[in-house]
Amino acid sequence: MTPSTAPDKAAVKAYLLDLQDRICQALAAEDGASGFIEDSWQRAEGGGGRSRVLADGQVIEKGGVNFSHVYGTQMPASATAHRPELAGRAFEAMGVSLVIHPGNPYVPTSHANVRFFIAEKEGAAPVWWFGGGYDLTPYYGNEADVIHWHQSAKNACDPLGEHLYPKFKKWCDDYFYLKHRGEARGVGGLFFDDYNAESFAHSFALMRAVGDSYVPAYLPIVQARKHTPYGERERQFQLYRRGRYVEFNLVYDRGTLFGLQTGGRTESILMSLPPLVRWEYDWQPEAGSPEAELYEKFLPQRDWLK
């Protein structure tokens, strides 16, 4: 049942634009190079956005932080696949999505997204929900980093309900899973969708808590690992593992499908892809190696806070 509190679309949009600004400022300051370039775009069917990309930085090899606000008269198939009752409704969707691919293989890739959907039809109450989360994709695992990441996620959720972190953590583990590989994309974090519990104020507060906690969750990991020495072996393994990231985004990711199905800007939709990547036929890590440790210790699902 949809809560009765009327959604404030203007407040959500203002928050998302400010969140994009704050995240870009924090990441650019940490990188210390030229910063993000901005590219504003318009969608013919309604709406648009602003994409910000940082490339070839001192820390970030490629990073994108995208805001979009699109609308139309028909819900796209990716949005109605699990909510067929919404077919035929007009929709608005707005969100901030980001992916950061660092250059140093000891610094994990990170992804975050917060979004709001509303589907409306004359004579009927609007149906709205929030979604989002973030996940971490290390190449060389570090237990302290992963614990910090998950503790940050739990701290964000707990004030709004102590049941939320375990639920969203499991949802993230299940979602960011490459079924054709039989392995997780990374070490997880948070994922939620179709969230409209209690009231608009509560649901909006949850989205803000997740969005606001991304920088404190990620930057300490970047700062701790960005000066770690590495060689060609580590770089080649990083490029190989980036292939898993590409496979997930192009095969399973709902946001990618939604963007393509709504006629979004292709460059912005695919900004999450890494700048360099490699695939190797039937590659296996050497037993007892740091590369094998990723598969054996970090990718299997576990409770990192016990």
Query: According to the model, what pLDDT value does residue 122 have?
Result: 81
Using a pLDDT cut of 70, give the percent of the chain over it. Answer: 96
Using a pLDDT cut of 90, give the percent of the chain over it. Answer: 74
Distance CA 57, CA 22 (A): 18
Task: Confirm or deny that 148 is annotated as ligand binding.
Answer: no
The single residue of 111, 163, 202, 227 carrying the catalytic annotation is: 111
Task: Confirm or deny that 114 is annotated as ligand binding.
Answer: yes
Task: Confirm or deny that 66 is annotated as ligand binding.
Answer: no
Task: Confirm or deny that 264 is annotated as ligand binding.
Answer: yes
As a whole number, the mean pLDDT across the chain is 92
pLDDT (mean) for 54-70: 95
**Top-confidence residue, 257 or 57:** 57
Give the domains, in start order, of the chain with CATH numbers: 9-298 (3.40.1500.10)
131 by Cβ neighbours in 10 Å (0-12 / 13-18 / 19+) ranks as buried
pTM, 2 dp: 0.92
Q: Is the pLDDT of residue 2 over 60?
A: no
Task: Confirm or deny that 150 is annotated as ligand binding.
Answer: yes
**Top-confidence residue, 107 or 263:** 107
Task: Confirm or deny that 34 is annotated as ligand binding.
Answer: no
pLDDT (mean) for 115-122: 90
CA atoms within 13 A on the CB side of 12: 27
pLDDT (mean) for 163-189: 97
Query: According to the model, what pLDDT value does residue 79 have?
Result: 67
Question: 111 an active-site residue?
Answer: yes
pLDDT (mean) for 12-24: 98
Q: Is the pLDDT of residue 263 over 60?
A: yes
Which residues are bridge partners to 191 per DSSP?
Answer: 133
